[in-house]
Amino acid sequence: MFNKIISGKTPPKYLSSDNDPLFLFHRWKANLRIIEVTEIKSVPATPTSHPFIERTIGSVRRECLDQMLFINESDLKTKLNDFKTYFNNTRAHSSLEMKTPEAMADNASGKNVISIDNYRWKKHCGGLYKLPVAA
């Protein structure tokens, strides 16, 4: 999975991992050594050592997984991809001045503002969320 994520990209200089036995295997350590990545271990039994990851996991759990059923791995992947699209492209974030991450990344402040007189409701995440969009 790690190789799939970093393929075609410059590997990170550091990688934070927990104390799962998966990260103790010789092959894992050899791969990190080959691509010259320094592994930083989290502190055991301290979920606050990775606050950004913990926040992301909590948001996905509260806003998506706790309210949705899935049948199999394929169904879960589809629903998580839908939620990722909703979270990054549609959902306004208070920490981003009520903008979406995509809008912040695109520097969308120069785009035209649309009129809110004509709108319709667009469903996201299989109808879990409905937000107004320009008609």
Q: What is the DSSP string of 85-119?
A: HHHHHT--BGGGTTB-HHHHHHTGGGSPPPPSSSE
pLDDT at 78: 92
Q: Which residues of the chain have pLDDT under 50?
A: 108
pLDDT tens, 113-126?
556 566 678 888 88
pLDDT at 95: 77
Bridging pattern class, strands 119-124 and 38-41 = unpaired
pLDDT at 82: 92
Give the 3-state secondary structure of residue 8: coil
pLDDT tens, 47-66?
666 777 778 888 889 988 89
127 φ/ψ angles, rounded to the nearest 5 degrees: 90, 0
